[in-house]
Amino acid sequence: MNCNYACGSAEHNIHRRQFLGTLAAGTGAVVGGLGWFAQPAFAEQMARQQKRMLVINMHGGLSQLESWDPKPGTATGGPFRAIPTSVPGIHISELLPHTAKQMHHLALVRSLNTKNDDHGKGTYMMLTGRRQMPGQDYPQIGAVVSRALDTSTRSLPGHILITPGGGGGRSADSAYLGPKYASIVLGNGNPPQNTSLPGGLTVAAAAQQDELRRLANNRFLSRRRTAQTDAYTQSYEGAQELMRQREAFDLTKESAKDHERYGTHDFGRHCLMARRLLEKGVTFVQISHSNYDTHNENFNFHFEQLGEFDRPFATLVQDLYDRGMLENTLVVVLSEFGRTPNVNQYYGRDHWGRAWSVCLGGAGIVRGAVIGKTNDKGTEVTEREADAGHLFHTYLKALGLNSKGHFDLGGRQVLMADPAVGPIKELLA
């Protein structure tokens, strides 16, 4: 990858003054070489400074009018009030009272116009930053971030997707970046399936079996090595590492108090799992929350769905801040589009990609910012229009990456993001 920034590694993200100040506070001098770097306190500091990204995907099309851009008292506003947040002058829906208290850690983009009302195409656009075209496939943001922030020391997978279903397999969402950066899907906040040794097989016996496999594999690869065999070997070794670090996915290690704070429902457990994985060094985690496709009974459904979303999300943001991780963790709440300002005959809102919102915060984002504006009825963008491509560039820049840079794939340069657009500069700290 071509990098026009200093380095991008966690080590180089330590400010010079902070580095020297820490040395001075510890010993006053570097004695006996650089063994100080191996101390547990430094290792913990480095882990906190590692760049990460968390995406919460509100499947189906979250209504901006019942969340980030309420229009109470208007013909399109619906029955819910707008409430003040921890940032003076910013109001969001009363369905998000806990999130409102975290708004000083977050920002809003209220001026998205993706010109798309299709679930599949909208999801593709929001996760790849590009429009879906025949014969072309682009990697999703999780694969791009996982590849761009990959290090030789990372042992856990860099791209995890947590859903109510799924069973530990890899998805096909990394396109030309290869299977190493495709997501591993965890179902119901549980560890990946088949990551425990079969009954009766000891660790020693498993190690002997693996050594025999490795010898046979190396002999085969010396004569018939292909991209397919490399992918198989990579996947197998990744599965072995998952087995060795299965504890990282074990939610029973978290306290009963934390389980209670996050909630015992799926989304609460998934948020707690996301926090645990980010702490363990996973680069990118995506959580799914469904279903916001409210063509019928929009207000009842959002009352229930956002009631489930609000507290765990707010708890997760506060925990990331309290643990010193939010400064280096980009948090994004997105959907494939918004909902129509007009309410249909079934008290529902339909698909609407012309004027809607996303919420984001953490690493590299100006806290408490509101970018863009819609008109009084929410029917069109009136200030600072943006689309999925602008957001994609913004994510990369917020993580300290050069969004105009490229990956080097076998001597071929592939751009990281759509070159026709750029980041939302007002959002970047």
Residue 242 lies in a domain: no
State how beta strands 329-334 and 52-58 pair: parallel
Residue 6 lies in a domain: no
Please give the full DSSP string across 17-67, using - where no structure is assigned.
HHHHHHHHHHTSS--STTGGGGSHHHHHHHHHHS-EEEEEEETTT--GGGT
The answer to whether 169 and 235 have CB atoms below 8 angstroms apart is no
Residue 274 lies in a domain: yes
Residue 43 scores a pLDDT above 70: no
* pLDDT tens, position by position, 143-164: 999 999 998 667 788 899 998 8
The answer to whether 130 and 418 have CB atoms below 8 angstroms apart is yes
- Distance, in Å, from the CA atom of 207 to the CA atom of 2, rounded to the nearest integer, reads 39
The answer to whether 165 and 290 have CB atoms below 8 angstroms apart is no
The answer to whether 182 and 158 have CB atoms below 8 angstroms apart is no
The answer to whether 380 and 354 have CB atoms below 8 angstroms apart is yes
Residue 311 lies in a domain: yes
What SS3 class is residue 111? strand
Overall average pLDDT of the 342-351 stretch: 97
Side chain identity at 108, as an amino acid letter?
L
The answer to whether 159 and 177 have CB atoms below 8 angstroms apart is no
pTM: 0.82
CA distances from 259 to 17, 242, 254, 319, 333 (A): 39, 24, 7, 13, 22
What's the domain count of the chain?
Answer: 1
pLDDT of residue 229: 67
The answer to whether 270 and 325 have CB atoms below 8 angstroms apart is no
pLDDT of residue 8: 42
Q: Which range has the worst mean pLDDT, 130-139, 316-325, 359-368?
A: 130-139
The answer to whether 87 and 300 have CB atoms below 8 angstroms apart is no
* pLDDT-based confidence at residue 240 (cuts at 50, 70, 90): low
Which runs of E-coded beta strand occur in 261-328?
Answer: 284-289
What CATH number does the domain containing 94 carry? Answer: 3.40.720.10
Residue 231 lies in a domain: no
- Distance, in Å, from the CA atom of 303 to the CA atom of 294, rounded to the nearest integer, reads 11
Percent of the residues in the chain that have a pLDDT greater than 70, as a whole number: 78
What SS3 class is residue 131? coil
pLDDT of residue 84: 98
Q: Could you tell me which residues come within 8 angstroms of residue 353 by beta carbon, excluding any fewer than 6 positions away?
A: 112, 113, 114, 115, 116, 117, 122, 337, 338
* pLDDT-based confidence at residue 5 (cuts at 50, 70, 90): very low
pLDDT of residue 197: 61
Average pLDDT over the chain, rounded to whole?
85
Overall average pLDDT of the 49-64 stretch: 95
Percent of the residues in the chain that have a pLDDT greater than 90, as a whole number: 64
* End-to-end Cα separation, the chain, in angstroms: 24
What SS3 class is residue 339? strand
- Distance, in Å, from the CA atom of 194 to the CA atom of 125, rounded to the nearest integer, reads 33
Overall average pLDDT of the 308-320 stretch: 98
Q: Which range has the worst mean pLDDT, 49-53, 198-202, 210-214?
A: 198-202
Burial (0-12, 13-18, 19+ Cβ within 10 Å), 354? buried
* pLDDT tens, position by position, 263-299: 999 999 999 999 999 999 999 999 999 899 999 999 9
**Using a CB cutoff of 8 Å and minimum separation of 24, what contacts does 40-49 make?**
46/10, 46/11, 47/10, 47/279, 47/281, 48/323, 48/324, 48/325, 48/328, 49/10, 49/13, 49/14, 49/328
The answer to whether 364 and 353 have CB atoms below 8 angstroms apart is no
Overall average pLDDT of the 396-404 stretch: 96
Q: Which range has the worst mean pLDDT, 37-51, 306-320, 346-360, 391-405?
A: 37-51
pLDDT of residue 172: 85
What SS3 class is residue 261? helix
CA distances from 227 to 95, 234, 406, 407, 414 (A): 50, 10, 21, 18, 19
Residue 171 lies in a domain: yes
Domain ranges, residue 134: 44-191+250-427
Residue 19 lies in a domain: no
Residue 37 lies in a domain: no
pLDDT of residue 232: 65
- Distance, in Å, from the CA atom of 358 to the CA atom of 127, rounded to the nearest integer, reads 13
The answer to whether 117 and 353 have CB atoms below 8 angstroms apart is yes
